[in-house]
Structure 1
Amino acid sequence: MPLVSTGELITAATAEGHALAAFNVITLEHAEATAAGAEEAGAPAVLQVSENAVTFHGGNVLAVAAAAAAVARASSAPLSLHLDHVVSVGLLHAAHEAGFSSVMFDASKMTYEENVGATAEAVRWGRQRGIWVEAELGRVGGKDGEAPLDAHAPGVRTDPREAAAYVADTGVDALAVAVGSSHAMTERTARLDHALIAELRAAVPVPLVLHGSSGVPDEEIRRAVAAGMVKINVGTALNTAFSGAVREYLDAHPAAVDPRKYLAPGRDAMAATVAHFLRTVG
């Protein structure tokens, strides 16, 4: 079916009282698995490509975006295309031509004042092109190249009053907040601050986004959605499922050289993971 915009999917999820799950796309198999899992669950989803993934593909955002979009259009599930954790303004400005309906502009490492200024400019640019813009306030650590970050350390979590001012000053369409999760967790042991989520929901007039959801147990995700989280980002859980299935196949077939033989079970494992998270959030 035709690509759907992320804004449309977020609006529908909010109206229906559940959340929308977004899945990181690194390879073609990630995109295919997301589409297959969404079809199995009978739910919409977001295919999101991070700046790190674009770098992995030699900086060619058009190629990876075209592949993900082609998979989405061939699917019977409602799917959107999102450009995630964009730091480079050049990549931000490539989003429209590449077909993304939404962007997460990440100025979270800047000072608060610099973050507000850079994000407000990104929002102005997006508004002129009909692109929905997400931003981050607080520190959801764990991204590649970052030092380990204690999600419960003082000053890491998002302050509700600051978040309200930030949304008002930048005009963002959604806000990723730090409430106890962390990127790149391979075990689902994170504990979220549900009281803080409720405070943020009361203070902030735009949808809230949970990054680092791979490390959050199902029940914690359900509680977060009930408290007001609308977009749930999943990445590492797909890679964990994929790598485990590939290792299992190669351990059982050490002479295998045809990548299709081990990529297929890896893709199937990711699809099952996608379907599981979609059922969890909605």
Structure 2
Amino acid sequence: MALLNLKAILGVANQHQFAVGAFNAIDSNFIDAVFDAAGETQSPVIINVAEVHLPYIDIYATSDYIRKKAEQAGVPTCLNLDHGLTLPTIKTAIDCGFSSIMFDGSSLTYEQNIEQTREVVELCQKYAISVEGELGAVGGDEGGALESMADTALYTNVDQAVDFVQQTGIDALAVAIGNTHGKYKGEPKLDFERLAQIHQAVSIPLVLHGGSGISAIDFRKTIERGICKINFFTGMSQSALQSIEKDVTNHALSQKYNYYLMMMENVQKAIKQTVAEQMQIFNSINKATYYG
């Protein structure tokens, strides 16, 4: 199946009130696990490749592998540059066949964020590539500490969201409503009222970053209030690490000739289970058939 852009994959989710999970790809174990989960649950899926991870992976080889897996899996798939920060990286992603670009201008001034996001939109429109923008600041950062908290002063402003969408022409908007990257330090307290107001005010799908640590009930509340894409990585990473920690101390397993390969197989199974659980929570199970 050919890759879908973000506008296409989220349009269906918005119409049928479910969210598409956006899961980060850092190696073949993660990629295979996500596609196995998507295939078994018949869920549409977004594969994220984050700019912050590019020092550790080859974007060209990784994108080639993802596109081949998408063809084999036969489920609706979007390949998304996650938290793109620089124009050279965005142009590289375009060259690699990405179908979506998430430009993160949240650290810029409001005016700069509008200007640079609009520039990315104008570039991507030439290639039928969707663009996701971010307004407000999600707690933590993808390359920082594992635990973080949200700052209420940096939550997405409703009136600014309307203006931002109109001025940039983006296809999806990532919002800050108490969500954070990494593990939440303490108990997440999402501003559902603010989210509902943003959903009512703008016409495009909304995105939740920093999905790890949020309860199933709260996830479903966000979906009811317009969230159509949920980024999820830390939970996958923690599942992988827990699997490795368990197998490292398994003396019987360590005596096997294929010890490492068996460890990686268990890592993949752990990630797959975590991803499948999130797809269930996001209500995307068996929604692949909605895409025709």
Q: Give unpaired runs (5+ residues) of structure 1.
A: none
* Length-normalised TM-score, structure 2: 0.90
Partner of 1:215 in structure 2? 213
Say if 1:188 and 1:214, in contact at 8 Å, map to a contact too: no
Matches within 5 A, 1:236-251: 236-251=234-249
CA RMSD of aligned residues (A): 1.8
Deviations 1:38-75 (A, max 9, x none): 12222111111000122212xx3211111222222221
SS in 2 for 1:91: helix
Say if 1:47 and 1:79, in contact at 8 Å, map to a contact too: yes
1:166 and 2:156 matched: no
- Which runs of structure 1 show a deviation greater than 3 angstroms over 4 or more consecutive aligned residues? 144-150, 186-189, 253-258
Say if 2:21 and 2:282, in contact at 8 Å, map to a contact too: yes
Partner of 2:25 in structure 1? 25
Partner of 2:3 in structure 1? 3
1:84 and 2:82 matched: yes
Which deviates more from structure 2 when the two are superposed, residues 216-225 or residues 14-23?
A: 14-23
1:220 alignment partner AA: D
Cα distance in 2 for partners of 1:165, 1:95 equals: 28
Say if 2:6 and 2:131, in contact at 8 Å, map to a contact too: no
Partner of 1:269 in structure 2? 270
The alpha-carbon deviation at position 139 of structure 1 amounts to: 0.7
SS in 2 for 1:71: helix
Deviations 1:16-40 (A, max 9, x none): 1211111011111111011011122
SS in 2 for 1:215: coil
Partner of 2:194 in structure 1? 196
Cα distance in 1 for partners of 2:184, 2:25 equals: 17
2:84 alignment partner AA: V
Q: Give unpaired runs (5+ residues) of structure 2.
A: 284-292
1:86 alignment partner AA: G
SS in 1 for 2:174: strand
SS in 1 for 2:23: strand
The alpha-carbon deviation at position 233 of structure 1 amounts to: 0.8
The alpha-carbon deviation at position 155 of structure 1 amounts to: 1.7
Say if 1:188 and 1:217, in contact at 8 Å, map to a contact too: no
SS in 2 for 1:214: coil
Partner of 2:54 in structure 1? 54
SS in 2 for 1:249: helix
Which deviates more from structure 2 when the two are superposed, residues 156-165 or residues 181-190?
A: 181-190
Deviations 1:132-187 (A, max 9, x none): 00011111122244477531x34211010011111111111110000111001168
Partner of 1:281 in structure 2? 282
> Alignment identity in percent?
31
* Length-normalised TM-score, structure 1: 0.93
2:271 alignment partner AA: M
Residue 189 and residue 154 in structure 1: after superposition, are their counterparts in 2 closer, same or farther (change >3 A)? closer
SS in 2 for 1:134: strand
Which deviates more from structure 2 when the two are superposed, residues 180-189 or residues 93-102?
A: 180-189
Residue 231 and residue 145 in structure 1: after superposition, are their counterparts in 2 closer, same or farther (change >3 A)? closer
Residue 82 and residue 227 in structure 1: after superposition, are their counterparts in 2 closer, same or farther (change >3 A)? same
Cα distance in 1 for partners of 2:233, 2:152 equals: 26
SS in 2 for 1:3: coil
Partner of 1:118 in structure 2? 116
Say if 1:182 and 1:215, in contact at 8 Å, map to a contact too: no
Residue 281 and residue 129 in structure 1: after superposition, are their counterparts in 2 closer, same or farther (change >3 A)? same
Deviations 1:67-93 (A, max 9, x none): 222222221322221111000110111
Cα distance in 1 for partners of 2:143, 2:43 equals: 33
2:176 alignment partner AA: A
Partner of 2:149 in structure 1? 150
